[in-house]
Amino acid sequence: MHRVAVLAYDGVVPFDLSVPIEVFGRAQLADGRPAYEVRVCASADEVRAGPMAIRARSDLGWAADADTIVVPGVADLDEPVPAAVVDLLRAAKGRLVSICTGTFVLAAAGVLDGHRATTHWAATAELARLHPAVDVDPDVLYVDEGTVLTSAGAAAGLDLCLHVVRHDHGAAVAAETARRCVMPLERAGGQAQFIAHEPPLPAGHSLQPLLDWLAENLSAPLTLADIAGRAAMSPRSLSRHFRQQTGTAPMRWLNRQRVRRAQQLLERTDTPVERIGGLVGFTSATAFRECFRQVVGVSPRAYRRAFVPDMAAGGVGST
């Protein structure tokens, strides 16, 4: 039987600890046998987990022989990672899976160097700063790099664990596991994290007034020349300064913000999908669908269905 070790150490997030226990613990094969043997493996006799203290039945010795090691999130990113946990992860022969800020633990062990990874949207910038050898993707729910998998915050850990079940045991077992956990079958891994607001650049940057103006005029049919005129620059100079300060081109930045606004409308209103593209500045339904899928990873309709199942089931909009 596939052995899953869920690590527990000081500062572990209780919710993140429970996610793999629930998903892997509820997975059953077609004949009713458990699909996994799941154990919590602690780095000490007793570890702190939010308002609780945990005394696990297994230690890191059992985890060393596990087929999958799950690393839950840590509440304090400055909490030192126990040396025994680092040694375990570096020597692991099986699959490594992190939930939320558990990515920082994997990164501290060096096992993410050269790999694409994600974490909670609020911590992606810090992950990139602390671990420049990691290719941080801030826009997805989870990343599957084969032997090492990472997820974004909170519920994205459920999606990743269910993805693992599907990989190990097929779609039928994954569907039954989702039913037992009372959760959707799975959101696409390339789908953007739902809380996707990107903070503006700090005050004082020369383009900040322009970015504020763009954010207030997403629905306007703006061209590069329009934006350059507003900034009192040539299109070429604007593009250069824009890329220096935001890392992307003006129209790409604008369309990304339009998609972010569309996400909010899809989540919070019952506005028909085909109207939302026009409300956020896209000139055609096709352009809206294509840009939305590029940024988010799924179609606008699929995004609404994942976020508000009842609304989508009611037939609101179409794309």
What is the C-alpha to C-alpha distance for residues 94 and 64, in angstroms, rounded to an integer?
A: 9
Question: Which 3 state secondary structure label does DSSP give 21?
Answer: helix
In one letter, which amino acid is 26? R
Residue 291 annotated to the active site: no
Q: Dig out the tokens for 308 from the structure.
A: 């508000």
d(CA 41, CA 185): 28
Among the listed residues 307, 105, 83, 81, the one whose alpha carbon sits nearest the alpha carbon of residue 188: 307
Distance CA 295, CA 59 (A): 42
> Which of 197, 113, 99 lies closest to 150 in space, CA to CA?
99
Catalytic entry in 41, 100, 161, 291: 100
Cβ atoms of residues 15 and 74 within 8 Å: no
How far apart, in whole angstroms, are the C-alpha atoms of residue 222 and residue 216? 12
Query: HEC string of 35-56?
Result: CEEEEEEECCCCEEECCEEECC
Q: Which residues of 114-125 are buried (b: 16+ CB within 10 A; e: fewer)?
A: ebebbbbbebbe
**The token pair that represents 196 in the structure block:** 């996707």
Q: Does the CA dihedral 80-85-89-94 come out positive or negative? A: negative
- Residue 240, token pair as written in the block: 């250069």
Q: Strands (DSSP E) along 121-240, which ranges?
A: 135-136, 142-144, 148-151
Active-site residue numbers?
100
